[in-house]
């Protein structure tokens, strides 16, 4: 066994670095538990993830960044299952970032703590079950020693090791000797999933009580006694800079202690620091800092993007598609030109999707302390590894001296995969010579984001004599996701906008996908199910347009294209295969639930769409009607197949939430740019869905499966926008080809 593997499975750090956010899992309604650090010798650290109390209660460490996707509950469930303890005896704590070096090589004692790409569950399925089984193995060996019997004669049940003759020892009694044992070099077997007692059972969020009593501490809720609050005014011009600032009035605000400027990125350079030049007002409290910021009189220098506007970007994208020259080939199958010559019908349409901001409810921010011998960061993160590297780069501190705690985050959606706000906090703290609590205001958040790309999709289909899809082209002109993106400089320009193997690739003989980069100064990033929300609207709206054009049933057309149930290669994230049968299955189930075949004669329309996201198969259907200029959503249905379900209650929450996020985004959200500046400043300009406009219920149907699990955080969103657009067409006969839907619908109606 390698040192790092042994350390992952067995050795842990002391409980002192762990953030206590948890509570007794099965006792979410009960009284607050004793924090582990107060338990002293009663608590034994058995492995990196498992601590056991003398009275046989168990503390399990949750390693993931909790951003609302439920990993703080689901990951400990996997460990508890293999450990074989009662969930009601488990308490969960959030682990800190687990950086460590082995022979000078960087690693993480907890494995992967990254929250992105819906990878937490599939990764944990592979390694955290063994981590739980390793802890159990140690306890069984300790009992075998105590009784001088062979380990394979022993069983475990609910936190006890049991001998066939009826002898029984609690884990609590065995923990101390078990912790002193070494794990074997051979892999430790995990349970047969058929015997699972915790995994697969609906399980509530473990720290719900601390959330509903206001005790849970998010990144924004952390303070250090000597830290100053920093609120920034950032340059509103893309790649602009600060010419000068008159800060006399700001310095006069009571409580304002210091004013510091930091540089923004240089045009053309990779975005690996702050997103904009800015002025930081440091004050005793947030209010003083905000007033100081409001009193600043800056003179900004505009950048090279003063001509940039959403209107110009759209015109540019359409021109590139009209010219159809020099497109970058993403995929080419068969002979599309030849199939066009034989065509009975061709259908073409263009679809436009806007920039999007993440708008996490908790805006970005960071609390940082820099010392000569190390640093402490407490922040709501999705990518602590990136934060660690960034702090080290900006300060010169070795990474093993940088402590990062991972509080619960007020949403992520991809925003926190970037650490620009951490860079700002470091640069401010360096200059201030003091710890800094950087607070972003909502205006900062909407105007300085890594936006989901903007683009136009030109779709064209060739129908043969039997109205089957014989040719397919998808030309996309978009602001490339890779633009100045850290770690993506060697990627093809279409990466993050298109996936070569996405539907209907591999299913249509003659197929072409091309990409045309559109120049823009807007920083871009990953936004929940990123490229899938970006292109599924076009693909799945277009299928309906084809069906309408040739008078075919939109569900039957999709099923015909999917064809026989089989696995076809899929090279993108979520592969290595795409199973047409699983896709067809969720689509059929969704059609059945919405009663697809039943004609509506009450003015309501139904629409359906399906999509494959990161290994998960999803179909959405909506039943809608117009009430004046308001869209009423009468039914919202989502069917998913994500393989084996770890926590059904958590998965339902993700799919319900993803669906509502999808509705919110599809109906009203867009970021626009004018004169090289982002136009949306706060929620009145970026109108997230409110309860009054949300469906009362999202009918979530989950396909039962024993296939290894994928995640659930990003599967519930990509097919929402096209299903809604298709439903709106069914009720209004207005086809909307531009997101967001509502402004376009009201324009066309």
Task: Tell me which residues in 232-261 interact with other proteins (CB under 8 A).
Answer: 254-255
Q: Which is nearer to other proteins, 39 or 175 (CB)?
A: 39
H/E stretch holding 5: helix 3-9
Cβ 91 to other proteins, closest distance in Å? 16
Q: How many CB atoms lie within 10 A of CB 490?
A: 7
Cα–chain-centroid distance for residue 225? 33
Cβ 92 to other proteins, closest distance in Å? 14
3-state secondary structure of 368: strand
Q: Which is nearer to other proteins, 359 or 547 (CB)?
A: 359
Cβ 126 to other proteins, closest distance in Å? 25
Q: Which is nearer to other proteins, 505 or 715 (CB)?
A: 715
Near other proteins in 628-667, by CB under 8 A: 649, 653-654, 656-661, 664
Among 83, 173, 229, 543, binds other proteins (CB under 8 A): 229
Among 15, 28, 320, 402, binds other proteins (CB under 8 A): 28
Of 63-71, 124-132, 239-247, 450-458: span binding other proteins (CB under 8 A)? 63-71
Near other proteins in 541-600, by CB under 8 A: none
Q: Which is nearer to other proteins, 320 or 656 (CB)?
A: 656
User: Should residue 223 be labelled a site residue for other proteins when binding is judged by CB under 8 A?
Assistant: yes
Q: Which is nearer to other proteins, 441 or 493 (CB)?
A: 441
Among 11, 224, 343, 550, binds other proteins (CB under 8 A): 224
- The residue count for the chain: 749
Near other proteins in 419-478, by CB under 8 A: 439, 441-442
Structure tokens at 174: 């065995």
Among 266, 342, 566, 697, binds other proteins (CB under 8 A): 697
Among 496, 695, 709, 712, binds other proteins (CB under 8 A): 695
Cβ 424 to other proteins, closest distance in Å? 18
Residue 525's contacts (CB-CB under 8 Å, 6 or more residues apart) are 358, 414, 415, 417, 418, 449, 450, 451, 452, 481, 485
Near other proteins in 370-399, by CB under 8 A: 371, 373-374, 376, 378
Structure tokens at 56: 């046989």
Cβ 142 to other proteins, closest distance in Å? 31
Of 349-357, 609-617, 677-685, 702-710: span binding other proteins (CB under 8 A)? 677-685
Taking phi first (over 0 means left), then psi (-120 to 50 degrees means alpha), and beta for anything else, what does residue 600 get? beta
Q: Which is nearer to other proteins, 2 or 696 (CB)?
A: 696
How far apart CA 457 and CA 514 sit, in angstroms, is: 10
Cβ 727 to other proteins, closest distance in Å? 18
Cα–chain-centroid distance for residue 629? 33
Residue with tokens 């009423």: 632
Q: What DSSP assignment string belongs to 444-474?
A: HHHHS--BBPPEEEEEEEEE-TTS-EEEEEE
Residue with tokens 């475990």: 156
Among 390, 406, 429, 689, binds other proteins (CB under 8 A): 689
User: Should residue 215 be labelled a site residue for other proteins when binding is judged by CB under 8 A?
Assistant: yes
Q: Which is nearer to other proteins, 193 or 202 (CB)?
A: 202
Near other proteins in 29-58, by CB under 8 A: 29
H/E stretch holding 21: none
Using CB under 8 A, count the residues that bind other proteins. 80
DSSP 435: -
Cα–chain-centroid distance for residue 599? 38
DSSP 520: -
| Alpha helices in 205-354, H assignment, sequence order | 208-212, 248-252, 286-295, 310-323, 336-341
Near other proteins in 401-430, by CB under 8 A: 403, 408-413
Q: By the 8 A CB rule, do 220 and 254 touch?
A: no
Q: Which is nearer to other proteins, 145 or 221 (CB)?
A: 221
Q: What DSSP assignment string belongs to 23-74?
A: -BGGGTTSPPPPPGGGSGGGEEE-SSSEEEETTS-EEEEE-S--SSSSHHHH
Among 32, 151, 180, 212, binds other proteins (CB under 8 A): 212
Q: What DSSP assignment string belongs to 601-612?
A: -SS-EEEEEEEE
Cβ 17 to other proteins, closest distance in Å? 8
Cβ 683 to other proteins, closest distance in Å? 4
Q: Which is nearer to other proteins, 132 or 363 (CB)?
A: 363
From residue 493 to residue 532, what is the string marking binding to other proteins with x (rule CB under 8 A)?
----------------------------------------
| Alpha helices in 563-708, H assignment, sequence order | 580-593, 648-668
Of 100-108, 138-146, 243-251, 364-372: span binding other proteins (CB under 8 A)? 364-372
Q: Which is nearer to other proteins, 10 or 409 (CB)?
A: 409
Cβ 198 to other proteins, closest distance in Å? 16
3 state SS for 484-497: CECCCCCCCCCECC
H/E stretch holding 240: none
Among 154, 174, 205, 587, binds other proteins (CB under 8 A): 205
Rounded to the nearest 5°, which phi and psi values hold at 595? 55, 60
User: Should residue 222 be labelled a site residue for other proteins when binding is judged by CB under 8 A?
Assistant: yes
Strand partners, 233: 279
Taking phi first (over 0 means left), then psi (-120 to 50 degrees means alpha), and beta for anything else, what does residue 326 get? left
Q: Which is nearer to other proteins, 248 or 697 (CB)?
A: 697
Near other proteins in 283-342, by CB under 8 A: 285-288, 290
User: Should residue 690 be labelled a site residue for other proteins when binding is judged by CB under 8 A?
Assistant: yes
How far apart CA 136 and CA 133 sit, in angstroms, is: 5
Q: By the 8 A CB rule, do 348 and 463 touch?
A: no
Of 119-127, 191-199, 357-365, 667-675: span binding other proteins (CB under 8 A)? 357-365
User: Should residue 683 be labelled a site residue for other proteins when binding is judged by CB under 8 A?
Assistant: yes
Cβ 682 to other proteins, closest distance in Å? 6
Distance set, CA 258 to CA 235, 395, 432, 642 (Å): 19, 21, 8, 51
Q: Which is nearer to other proteins, 288 or 678 (CB)?
A: 288
């Amino acid at each position: 066994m390698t040192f790092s593997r042994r350390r992952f499975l067995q050795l842990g750090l002391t409980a002192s670095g762990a953030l206590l956010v948890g509570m007794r899992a099965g006792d979410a309604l009960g009284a607050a538990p004793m924090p582990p650090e107060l338990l002293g010798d009663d608590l034994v650290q058995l492995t990196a993830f498992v601590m056991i109390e003398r009275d046989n209660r168990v503390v399990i460490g949750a390693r993931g960044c909790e951003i609302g996707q439920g990993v703080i509950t689901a990951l400990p469930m996997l460990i508890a299952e293999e450990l074989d303890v009662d969930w009601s005896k488990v308490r969960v704590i959030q682990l800190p970032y687990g950086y460590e070096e082995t022979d000078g090589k960087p690693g993480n004692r907890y494995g992967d703590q990254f929250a992105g790409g819906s990878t937490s569950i599939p990764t944990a399925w592979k390694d955290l079950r063994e981590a739980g089984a390793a802890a159990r193995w140690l306890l069984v060996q300790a009992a075998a020693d105590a009784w001088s019997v062979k380990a394979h004669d022993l069983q475990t049940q609910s936190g006890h090791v049991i001998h066939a003759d009826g002898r029984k020892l609690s884990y609590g009694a065995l923990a101390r000797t078990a912790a002193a044992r070494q794990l074997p070099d051979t892999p430790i077997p995990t349970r047969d999933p058929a015997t699972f007692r915790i995994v697969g059972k609906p399980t509530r969020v473990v720290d719900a009580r601390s959330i509903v009593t206001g005790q849970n501490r998010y990144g924004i809720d952390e303070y250090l006694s000597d830290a100053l609050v920093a609120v920034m005014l950032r340059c509103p011009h893309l790649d602009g800079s600060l010419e000068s600032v008159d800060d006399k009035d700001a310095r006069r605000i009571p409580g304002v202690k210091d004013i510091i400027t930091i540089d923004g990125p240089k045009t053309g350079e990779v975005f690996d620091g702050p997103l904009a030049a800015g002025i930081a007002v440091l004050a005793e409290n947030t209010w003083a800092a905000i007033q100081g910021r409001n009193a600043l009189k800056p003179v900004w220098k505009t950048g090279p993007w003063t001509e940039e506007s959403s209107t110009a970007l759209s015109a540019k994208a359409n021109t590139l598609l009209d010219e159809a020259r020099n497109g970058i080939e993403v995929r080419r199958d068969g002979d599309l030109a030849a199939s066009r010559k034989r065509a009975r019908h061709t259908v073409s349409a263009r679809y436009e999707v806007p920039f999007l901001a993440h708008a996490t409810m908790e805006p970005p921010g960071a609390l940082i302390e820099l010392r000569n011998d190390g640093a402490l960061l407490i922040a709501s993160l999705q990518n602590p590894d990136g934060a660690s590297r960034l702090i080290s780069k900006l300060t010169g501190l070795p990474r093993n001296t940088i402590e990062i705690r991972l509080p619960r985050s007020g949403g992520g959606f991809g925003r926190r995969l970037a650490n620009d706000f951490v860079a700002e906090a470091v640069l401010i703290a360096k200059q201030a010579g003091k710890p800094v609590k950087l607070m972003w205001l909502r205006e900062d958040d909407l105007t300085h984001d890594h936006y989901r790309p903007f683009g136009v999709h030109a779709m064209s289909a060739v129908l043969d004599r039997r109205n089957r899809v014989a040719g397919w082209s998808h030309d996309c002109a978009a602001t490339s996701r890779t633009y100045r993106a850290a770690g993506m400089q060697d990627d093809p320009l279409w990466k993050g906008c298109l996936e070569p193997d996405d539907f209907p690739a591999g299913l249509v003989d003659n197929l072409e996908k091309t990409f045309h980069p559109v120049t823009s100064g807007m920083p871009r990033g990953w936004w929940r199910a990123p490229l899938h929300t970006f292109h599924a609207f076009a693909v799945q709206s277009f299928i309906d347009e084809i069906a309408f054009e040739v008078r075919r049933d939109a569900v039957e057309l999709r099923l015909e294209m999917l064809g026989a149930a089989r696995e076809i290669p899929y090279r993108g994230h979520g592969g290595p295969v795409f199973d047409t049968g699983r896709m067809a299955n969720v689509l059929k189930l969704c059609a059945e639930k919405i009663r697809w075949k039943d004609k509506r004669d009450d003015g309501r329309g139904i629409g359906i769409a399906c999509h494959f996201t990161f290994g998960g198969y999803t179909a959405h259907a909506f039943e809608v009607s117009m009430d004046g200029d308001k869209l009423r959503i009468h039914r919202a249905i989502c069917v998913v197949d994500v393989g084996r379900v770890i926590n059904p209650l958590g998965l339902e929450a993700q799919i319900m939430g993803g669906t509502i996020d999808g509705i919110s985004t599809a109906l009203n959200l867009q970021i626009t740019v004018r004169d090289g500046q982002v136009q949306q400043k706060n929620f009145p300009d970026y109108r997230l869905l409110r309860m009054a406009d949300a469906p009362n219920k999202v009918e979530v149907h989950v396909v039962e499966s024993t296939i290894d699990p994928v995640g659930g955080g990003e599967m519930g969103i990509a097919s929402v926008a096209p299903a809604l657009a298709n439903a709106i067409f069914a009720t209004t006969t207005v086809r909307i080809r531009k997101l967001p839907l509502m402004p376009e619908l009201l324009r066309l109606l």
